[in-house]
Amino acid sequence: MNKQKFIDKFLRALVVLAIIKIIAIFTELFQKTFWSVIGNLVVFIVVLAIIFFAVIVLQNKEKSGNSSGKKGGGGNFYLDNSLFDRIRNKYEELAEKYIAEKDYTRAAKVYMNLLNDNYRGAKTLEDGGLYNEAAVIYLKKLKNKSEAASCFEKAKQYQKSIELYKELEQKEKVGDLYMQINDTKNANSYYQMVVDDYVNNDQMVKASLIYRKKMDVPEEAQKILLQGWEENKDAFNCLNNYFVNINTIEDLNFTIQNLYVKTPSEKKLIYLEAMKYEFKKDSKLQETTRNIAYTIIAENIENHSSIINELKYFNPKDELVLKDISRYRTGRNKMFRN
């Protein structure tokens, strides 16, 4: 009986609140468009109907329970949970219905206002192409600057996106967006910050890629790679990329010889490794790279006998060389056994 009285009071309160809410919605006519207000009213009426239906169902079950003499209080908890789940499922179905109808704004309102799920509300707006609206939700309600910046970018609100990426210290992204609005000066300023960060962290190849791909200054990229090679900062990859960026075979051939002359003995094994790649690039490079390889192997064979195996990379089809390597290794093994 007490529960029945509570339900009756709840229904009366619901009617009063509904009247107040309807009046409040109509007062929005002074601030919003007519159709926006009508849309809010429709959503509210649908939600009100769902709640009213759920309460009526609960009321009927209460009456049924009383008439059958079932007075066990333990079932109330499960009944309340069941009611909550049904209401939630109705909201989910309503949101999915709006999405199917491509009414992403109403679907988002259901998620945010009725299901208290701001993330799904924002994601629904984003999926529906309402990027500005989604960005506001990400920023104001979810405090997610990264997602907000991404949505502003999709909405072509580049300045808003730039400001957020600056706060997030995503300098390369800031540079990309400045390029998007043809602000080359600011773009290059931020790209240079990225280069400096990479250099300070000994990531010379990445720094060179910013110069080459983003700033279009290939000569600066080559300087960075050469610096990395000389300072032994990821030396092999710097050297390999340095050679890759040389446009003509003639220039590459000259550079390989010239740079080898300047290479200190402790880095010649790295140079040998690079020669394997250059040997396969073009037949015009094979004589130069093979001669350099032979020199390095000869200089190091006493202390690194296994280096003899490197000969096969520069004579891939020469069976005689392969046999010589095998004989050398066999003879050396016998010498150590004796």
Asked if residue 218 lies in contact with residue 245, where contact means CB atoms within 8 angstroms, the answer is yes
Residues contacting residue 125 through CB under 8 Å, at least 6 positions apart: 104, 105, 108, 131, 133, 134, 137
Per-residue confidence (pLDDT) for residue 88, from 0 to 100: 86
**Is residue 283 a part of any domain in this protein?**
yes
Q: Apex CA 175: angle with CA 172 and CA 179, to 5°?
A: 140
**CA–CA gap between residue 226 and residue 161 (Å, rounded):** 36
Rounded-to-integer distance, Cα 211 and Cα 188, Å: 9
Torsion of CA 231, 232, 238, 243, to 10 degrees: 80
Identify the CA nearest to 328 among candidates 298, 284, 285, 292: 298
Please check whether residue 338 lies inside any domain of the structure.
yes
From first to last of its 338 residues, the chain has per-residue pLDDT tens of 445 555 565 556 556 566 656 656 555 555 556 666 566 666 667 766 776 676 666 666 655 555 444 444 445 544 456 777 888 899 999 999 999 999 999 999 999 998 999 999 999 999 999 999 999 999 999 999 999 999 999 999 999 999 999 999 999 999 999 999 999 999 999 999 999 999 999 999 999 999 999 999 999 999 999 999 999 999 999 999 999 999 999 999 999 999 999 999 999 999 999 999 999 999 999 999 999 999 999 999 888 888 888 888 898 876 676 566 566 555 554 444 44
- Report pLDDT digits (tens) over 93-111: 999 999 999 999 999 999 9
User: Is residue 310 situated within a structural domain?
Assistant: yes
Number of domains in the chain: 1
At 13 the pLDDT is 58
Q: Is residue 304 part of a domain?
A: yes
Give domain status of residue 83, yes or no: no
- Could you give the CA distance from residue 36 to residue 202 in angstroms, rounded to a whole number? 56
Which residues, 6 or more positions from 61, have their beta carbon under 8 angstroms from its beta carbon? 79
Q: Which residue range(s) make up the domain with 277?
A: 256-338
User: Does 235 fall in a domain?
Assistant: no
Q: SS3 for 255-305, per residue?
A: HHHHHHHCCCHHHHHHHHHHHHHHHHHCHHHHHHHHHHHHHHHHHHCCCCH
In a domain, 19, yes or no: no
Classify residue 208: in a domain, yes or no. no
Q: Specify the pTM.
A: 0.72
The SS3 of residue 318 is coil
